[in-house]
Chain A
Amino acid sequence: DVKVTQSSRYLVKRTGEKVFLECVQDMDHENMFWYRQDPGLGLRLIYFSYDVKMKEKGDIPEGYSVSREKKERFSLILESASTNQTSMYLCASSWGQRYNSPLHFGNGTRLTVT
């Protein structure tokens, strides 16, 4: 079974802090994604990566950056956390060239910025 692991289930940070959210997958997937989920807005794509050191902006990249130094790890960085970044963050992965492969999600990180 595919395992996508997010390092923290709950995180509380202060406004202005730099925040790192880590995600690791164990299936050698090329594609990795970061979403945020908010009530009434659904899941929105922040950033994704098709390969090591590659990254592409999703629909709401402002205020975020990402890092993919190793194939199995995809990090989401909040450069200066703000209260409107309080949300559930979900990492996902899938096979690369196979556009028809399913997406596998981690359990999410509930981030609160105070």
Chain B
Amino acid sequence: KQEVTQIPAALSVPEGENLVLNCSFTDSAIYNLQWFRQDPGKGLTSLLLIQSSQREQTSGRLNASLDKSSGRSTLYIAASQPGDSATYLCAVRGGATNKLIFGTGTLLAVQP
């Protein structure tokens, strides 16, 4: 059974710092991995989708990497801003069920 873990559960950094969020998964037979952002009381906003054949994807200040063999993905945020404060979730699709399995998220606070 696919399990997705995100560590740490919460992170606080000063504005301007570069930071890395971690996501690990137990079954490497995945189609893709997707990173989302969720603001309090809101739905999820898709940030980046990495296909199983890709190593990384970039969008603006965000860079997501994927290492299937080790079951790990990282989301790199450059020059963090207070507006980046949110919960970040990763989700993997694939394995036996082809369903999207979510991690429990990392709550990020960027202090001005």
* Residue positions of A touching B, CB distance < 8 A: 4, 6, 33, 40-43, 45, 58-59, 90, 92, 99-108, 110
Contacts and interface: CB of A to CB of B under 8 A. Distances in A.
Interface residues of B, number: 23
Given A4-B43, A100-B31, A108-B42, 7 more contacts: A42-B89, A43-B91, A58-B99, A99-B94, A100-B51, A103-B44, A105-B36
- 8 closest A-B pairs by CB: A105-B43, A105-B44, A42-B104, A43-B102, A107-B43, A102-B49, A108-B43, A102-B46
A108 B101 CA distance: 18
A92 B41 CA distance: 16
B85 interface: no
A104 B32 contact: no
Interface in B85-110: 89, 91, 93-94, 98-100, 102-105
- Interface of chain B, main secondary structure: strand
Interface of B: 31-32, 34, 36, 41-46, 49, 51, 89, 91, 93-94, 98-100, 102-105
Given A90-B44, A108-B41, A99 B98 contact: yes
Nearest to B39: A107
Contact of A104 (B31, B41, B42, B46): B46
A43 B46 CA distance: 15
A105 B45 contact: yes
Nearest to A41: B104
